[in-house]
Amino acid sequence: MHRIIPVYILEEILPSFLVSLLVFTFILLLAKIMELTELVVVEGIQPLTLLRLLLYNLPFFLSLTIPMSTLLAVLLAFLRLSGDSEILVLKSAGLSLYRLLPPVILFTLWALMVTSYLTLYLVPASNRAFRNELLALAKIRADISIKEQIFNTDFESLVLYVNEVNRQDGWMHEIFIRDARETDVASIITAARGRLTADTKQRMLVFELYDGSVDRMEESITFDRYDLRVDLANTLSTKHLAPPDQFEMTQEELFTVLRTAPKPSRRYYQYLLEINKRFSLPFACLVLGLIAVPLGVQFRGKGRNWGVSMALGVFLVYYLLFTAGWSFGETGAYPPGLGMWVPNLIIGGAALYMLHRANQDAPLGLVAVLDYIVAQFRPARRDGMG
């Protein structure tokens, strides 16, 4: 019997988890598709490229939807067990609510490990790949815009003239550039040859120029190689193409930068928040899964729709606490590391208290409050219909 019950509870949790995961992830993907529509319409990217960009966003979406799905799956499982009086039968057989927790804890720990792998490794790597893909698209568009023996003004404050372009290898020959990005004086750059490259570390386009000179007023400098950075403002929608930041750094890079960043400073706080976020977010699977157990037991007979609403409400509270922790931590209002763990501490503490009350069959104040609110709306609906 002791082996059958954990398997039975896991069989209740898994189907709801998979369905919830698919639905929540699809909703986030759909929202991202709407956001990337501009790139399809304005920039003309191919469907396969769009699919690749969406796949790069998938690890981040899963790091959010796995905790959400864990909460909803456990809540629906215990709502069903409670609604069919199976929890009551198990208690009558001498099994306390705590004896039903091992399969829940096992499942939430599995979700925690998967989410940890996502936040620590896949999400930073996919963020970097996503932005580098956009940089590659910017380079392709810039290459197409460069035509032979025509003055090109597609680059902001630059005038480019190329006598010959080899489309196969991208090399340009006999190059003339007027650089007016400095307001006081314009520079005239000439080069025998050059090419446009993408610098993924700084995330910008660079003209690699060879065998030429830079003329500024009466000063002239010759060079064997000269790198001219290009403003991306007119090459691709820059709201999608952010410079390298903490969201795409590996753990080692974050700790290295954290040691050298000036403190206290906003930059230092941002790196410290990101490090703690990657460790704290997976623990949402554990605390949300635990709080779902007493909610499911106490809200017996409420149905699946009530369970979905309750799960979304609890996750909204968690998200608001998480967002507040990030905002206050970023300004240094309180320790940034603590800000990322406050949601877990609050929800986890509430889960332990509610588990204790539910195990003693003591009513939760939350249940009474919500029942009262619902009861207030029911007469109003009948009066309105009459």
Above 80 in pLDDT, residue 236?
no
How large is the greatest C-alpha to C-alpha distance in the chain, in angstroms?
96
Residues 109 and 185 in one domain: no
Q: How confident is the model at residue 224 (pLDDT cuts 50, 70, 90)?
A: very high
The mean pLDDT value of the chain amounts to 84
Residues 254 and 306 in one domain: yes
Residues 253 and 211 in one domain: no
Percent of the chain residues topping a pLDDT of 90: 35
Residues 108 and 168 in one domain: no
Above 80 in pLDDT, residue 361?
no
Which pLDDT belongs to residue 381? 43
The residues with which 179 forms a beta bridge, in sequence order, are 158, 187
- Residue 150 inside a domain? The answer is no
Task: Find the mean pLDDT for residues 346-354.
Answer: 92
- Residue 240 inside a domain? The answer is no
- Residue 212 inside a domain? The answer is yes
Residues 317 and 364 in one domain: yes
Residues 9 and 117 in one domain: yes
- Segment 139-190, tens digit of pLDDT: 888 888 888 888 988 887 888 999 999 888 889 999 999 888 776 778 899 9
Which pLDDT belongs to residue 382? 45
- Segment 93-133, tens digit of pLDDT: 778 888 889 999 999 999 999 999 999 999 999 998 988 88
Which of residues 175, 196, 230 is at a domain's end? Answer: 230
Question: For residue 264, is the peptide bond before it cis, meaning its omega torsion is within 30 degrees of 0?
Answer: yes
Q: Which of 173-182, 214-223, 304-313, 348-357 is least confident?
A: 304-313
- Residue 94 inside a domain? The answer is yes
Q: How far apart are CA 20 and CA 161, in angstroms?
A: 56
Number of domains forming the structure of the chain: 2
What's the length of the chain? 386
Which pLDDT belongs to residue 282? 95
Residues 56 and 131 in one domain: yes
Which pLDDT belongs to residue 238? 46
Residues 95 and 186 in one domain: no
Q: Which structural domain range is residue 67 located in?
A: 4-138+245-385
Above 70 in pLDDT, residue 358?
yes
Residues 32 and 103 in one domain: yes
- Segment 32-65, tens digit of pLDDT: 888 777 767 666 677 788 888 899 999 999 999 9
- Residue 145 inside a domain? The answer is no
Which pLDDT belongs to residue 376? 57
- Residue 62 inside a domain? The answer is yes
Q: Which of 208-217, 232-241, 307-316, 339-348 is least confident?
A: 232-241
332 contacts 264 by C-beta, under 8 angstroms: yes
Q: How confident is the model at residue 279 (pLDDT cuts 50, 70, 90)?
A: very high
- Residue 239 inside a domain? The answer is no
Residues 357 and 253 in one domain: yes
Task: Find the mean pLDDT for residues 264-290.
Answer: 91
